């Protein structure tokens, strides 16, 4: 089986599971759309122009699944997985157009580490600048490149939300992430994004794996933003489940990656920024 890393970068200049959605495609529901998009663009403008300086704990759990096909007749194939766990001290500083993202690896598979300027050690999916995910979908600039519609309403962790689907205009060639956005009705806060698998930068690699398995890819890919500080929402979870569906063998899970953010600490960015050591 091919073993290739998928890179998922939610860049500020570009850019779960399945939920039951109440139908909301009638004309009355769509009248809320211009107001929602206007408020979302205002939020993205704030996100783009606010200086940021925060640290948090970034916990990563990665499972890679395998199918063992025994040679002896009569024995059933068995499925097993390997698992890796990492704990990073994660830091992001953004002032103006300069963005610096740094990590200290604190723990790897239960063993203490102290690796500064550490790289992500994940085998299947990378990520970068998760906080900026909404910008490539909902900023004023990028709203010109997408079509939008309200596709449903649902409670998300106790909050009443509208679900908006963003798709690139047919005349536009877009190479960044798009998908469905959960927006809180009370203030248009962006709570969650479920990304369309076809918009992933390395979807060609996924299709190669699918071809080898003679199956169709089914990738669940979400970003959740549960923490709020001074009107900016910060990531709480990043999740990718990589599955493939065969016409008669059924569904095969190849990998599952869960990134959890917690223990945020926020700082004021001054004119001269000194990086945490």
Do 138 and 10 meet the contact criterion of CB atoms below 8 Å apart?
no
273 domain residue, yes or no: no
Strands 125-128, 6-9: pairing kind: parallel
Q: Determine the pLDDT at residue 135.
A: 93
pLDDT tens-place string over residues 45-86: 999 989 999 999 999 999 999 866 545 444 455 568 899 999
The total of structural domains in the chain comes to: 1
Handedness of CA 237, 7, 18, 191 (dihedral sign): positive
pLDDT-above-90 percentage for the chain: 60
Q: What is the CATH number of the domain that holds 232?
A: 2.50.20
Q: Is residue 271 part of a domain?
A: no
Burial of 236 (0-12, 13-18, 19+ CB in 10 A): buried
Q: In terms of pLDDT, which residue wins out, 1 or 228?
A: 228
Which segment of 1-15, 95-109, 116-130, 192-206 scores lowest on mean pLDDT? 1-15
Please state the rounded mean pLDDT for residues 23-39: 71
Q: CA-CA distance, 204 to 275, in Å (whole number)?
A: 37
Q: What is the pLDDT of residue 32?
A: 81
State the pLDDT at residue 147: 94
157 contacts 226 by C-beta, under 8 angstroms? yes
Does the residue 43 lie in any domain? Answer: yes
Give the rounded percent of residues in the chain with a pLDDT score beyond 70.
81
- Which residue range(s) make up the domain with 148? 11-68+83-266
Stretch 5-24: mean pLDDT, rounded? 37
pTM of the predicted model, to two decimals?
0.82
**What are the tens digits of pLDDT across the range 214-251?**
999 999 999 999 999 988 999 999 999 999 998 888 88
pLDDT for 248 equals 87
In sign, the C-alpha dihedral spanning 52, 55, 57, 63 is positive
Tell me the C-alpha to C-alpha distance, in Å, between residue 269 and each of 79, 128, 273.
Answer: 49, 21, 6
Q: Is residue 75 assigned to a domain?
A: no
Question: Among 41, 57, 58, which residue's Cα sits nearest to residue 49?
Answer: 41
pLDDT at 14: 26
Q: Specify the 3-state DSSP secondary structure of 24.
A: coil
- Strands 52-68 and 6-9, how do they pair? unpaired
Spell out the alpha helix ranges (H) of 50-180: 135-138, 140-143
Cβ atoms of residues 161 and 55 within 8 Å:
no
106 falls within a domain:
yes
Q: In this model, does residue 200 exceed pLDDT 80?
A: yes
Question: Which range has the worst mean pLDDT, 19-33, 58-72, 97-111, 260-274?
Answer: 19-33
The answer to whether residue 76 is domain-embedded is no
Q: Answer whether residue 174 shows pLDDT above 80.
A: no
**Residue 191 resides in a domain:** yes
74 in a structural domain: no
Both structure tokens of 203: 């979807």
Q: What is the mean pLDDT of residues 189-193?
A: 94
Q: Which residue has the tokens 């909301």?
A: 24
Q: Give pLDDT, residue 121.
A: 92
Q: How confident is the model at residue 126 (pLDDT cuts 50, 70, 90)?
A: confident
In degrees, rounded to 5, the angle at the alpha carbon of residue 182 between the alpha carbons of residues 180 and 185 is 140
Q: For residues 275 and 121, give the distance between their C-alpha atoms in angstroms, rounded to a whole number.
A: 22
CB neighbour burial string for 38-57, b if at least 16 within 10 angstroms, e if fewer: ebbbebbeebbeeebbbbbe
Mean pLDDT (the chain) is 83
């Amino acid at each position: 089986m091919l073993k290739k890393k998928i890179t998922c970068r939610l860049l500020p200049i570009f850019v779960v599971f399945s939920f039951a959605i109440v139908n909301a495609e009638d004309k009355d529901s769509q009248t809320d759309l211009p107001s929602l998009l206007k408020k979302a663009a205002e939020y993205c403008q704030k996100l783009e122009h606010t200086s940021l300086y925060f640290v948090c704990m970034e916990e990563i759990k990665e499972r890679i699944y395998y199918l063992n096909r025994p040679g002896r007749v009569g024995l059933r194939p068995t499925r097993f997985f390997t698992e890796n766990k990492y704990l990073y001290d994660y830091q992001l500083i953004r002032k103006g157009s300069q963005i610096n993202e740094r990590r200290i690896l604190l723990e790897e598979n239960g063993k203490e580490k102290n690796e500064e300027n550490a790289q992500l050690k994940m085998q299947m999916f990378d990520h970068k600048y998760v906080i900026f995910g909404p910008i490539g979908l909902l900023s004023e600039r990028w709203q010109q490149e997408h079509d939008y519609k309200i596709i449903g309403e649902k409670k998300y962790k106790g909050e009443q939300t509208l679900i908006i689907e963003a798709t690139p205009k047919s005349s536009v060639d877009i190479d960044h992430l798009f998908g469905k956005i959960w927006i809180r009705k009370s203030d248009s806060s962006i709570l969650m994004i479920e990304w369309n698998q076809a918009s992933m930068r390395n979807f060609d690699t996924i299709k190669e794996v699918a071809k080898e398995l003679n199956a169709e890819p089914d990738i669940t890919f979400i970003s959740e933003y549960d923490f709020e500080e001074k009107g900016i929402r910060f990531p709480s979870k990043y999740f990718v489940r990589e599955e493939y569906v065969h016409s008669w063998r059924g569904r095969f899970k190849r990998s599952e990656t869960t990134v959890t953010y917690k223990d945020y600490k926020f700082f004021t960015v001054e004119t001269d920024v000194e990086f945490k050591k």
